[in-house]
Amino acid sequence: MNLHEPTWPELRELHTRSSALWVSGTLSYRYIKRDGSLDQGLWSFQHGPDERWRIERSGAVQYIRRGGTAYARFDDGMRATHADKTRFVSLLPINPMQFLGGPASILSALNTESQTPNVIGVATIADRAAWHVQVPGPSSGTTTEIDIDQETGMVLGLRGRGGMLTASIIEMRVHESIPEDRFAWNGPTAQSRVAERSSVVDVSSMRDIPVTVPRYWPAGVGYTPHAGDADTGELIMILDVEDAPILARWPIGSPLTLLDRLLVGGHAYTVEWTDKTWNWRLYTRVPLAPAEFDRIRDSMRER
């Protein structure tokens, strides 16, 4: 029997519905960093409707959530964290939350509005039939390939960044339910530096975070907030200019924590600088001439 090949809107809707699954499994990933070193590993996970998550690595819980209560692993242990915050250093470079429907889905990070993905075949992953989809990038060498489960809509595989990043579900099981205690953290917690670190996820509200941005670009500059933390002021922005460069700002003396490596996957060039308060890093797809960079940096002023 020939299967109906779905359109992209149909496939995306199927993926969105995967957020209601009770599912467990194992995700394998392999990432070649820019310096040539290899990062690879396995995530085990359990997921349920209404934002239930448990993600482990090497037997240690890295992230756990049930509705509005969430804990994530930091250098000093597990900490309570804002429930809508989904980007953590401990979950890089890619993690199971990006494989199911929801705000953290990899489909939300890929630009599928200007370039329509194409179903180019079928695949079998973890003994499950999947649609093999090609998502065109903004330039050659930036195409991403994903495999979407034909039954559940869950992403089963991903290949991107010119082959530098691959990830695949190697074991998966759909359940009628999973015990609630699997999504509750009862272990020790580290003391948060603030009572509740509020990481802004409402993109429109990020406009209220004070920030300087470049005021010069050959064709003028606007920006779109991508991720931010209202407590620390850390902010990731997409500049509304040709090739969509990425601008990151974070406090001096602190690490950069919110950057999504897939977001900057096609931006091979970086320049960095500091001012009295912030570290800055600009990611571009093409190199900037020194005079261009100087003019961009010097054009920035407090809003």
For residue 45, the domain's CATH number is 2.50.20.10
Residue 193 lies in a domain: no
- d(C-alpha 296, C-alpha 107), whole Å: 32
Amino acid in position 14: L
Q: Are residues 168 and 230 in the same domain?
A: no
- d(C-alpha 235, C-alpha 253), whole Å: 15
Residue 186 lies in a domain: no
Which positions of the chain have pLDDT values less than 70? 1-2, 34-35, 111-115, 137-142, 161, 191-211, 213-221, 261-262, 265, 301-303
- d(C-alpha 246, C-alpha 263), whole Å: 8
How many folded domains does the chain comprise?
Answer: 2
Structure tokens at 245: 């460069």
Residue 109 lies in a domain: yes
Q: Are residues 73 and 124 in the same domain?
A: yes
Residue 61 lies in a domain: yes
Q: Are residues 117 and 215 in the same domain?
A: no
Tell me which residue range forms the domain holding 77.
8-179
pTM comes to 0.66
Residue 228: per-residue pLDDT:
84
Residue 133 lies in a domain: yes
Residue 78 lies in a domain: yes
Residue 221: per-residue pLDDT:
66
Instruction: Express each pLDDT in 53-86 by its tens digit.
Output: 999 999 999 999 999 999 998 877 898 888 877 7
Q: Are residues 106 and 211 in the same domain?
A: no
Residue 84: per-residue pLDDT:
79
Residue 85: per-residue pLDDT:
78
DSSP 115-172: S--EEEEEEEETTEEEEEEEE--SSTT--EEEEEETTT--EEEEEEGGGTEEEEEEEE
Residue 188 lies in a domain: no
Residue 197: per-residue pLDDT:
45
Q: Are residues 57 and 206 in the same domain?
A: no
Q: Are residues 270 and 142 in the same domain?
A: no
Q: Are residues 255 and 123 in the same domain?
A: no
Q: With 0-12 CB in 10 A as exposed, 13-18 as middle and 19+ as buried, what is 94?
A: buried
Residue 282: per-residue pLDDT:
94
Q: Are residues 37 and 168 in the same domain?
A: yes
Residue 265 lies in a domain: yes
Q: Are residues 24 and 129 in the same domain?
A: yes
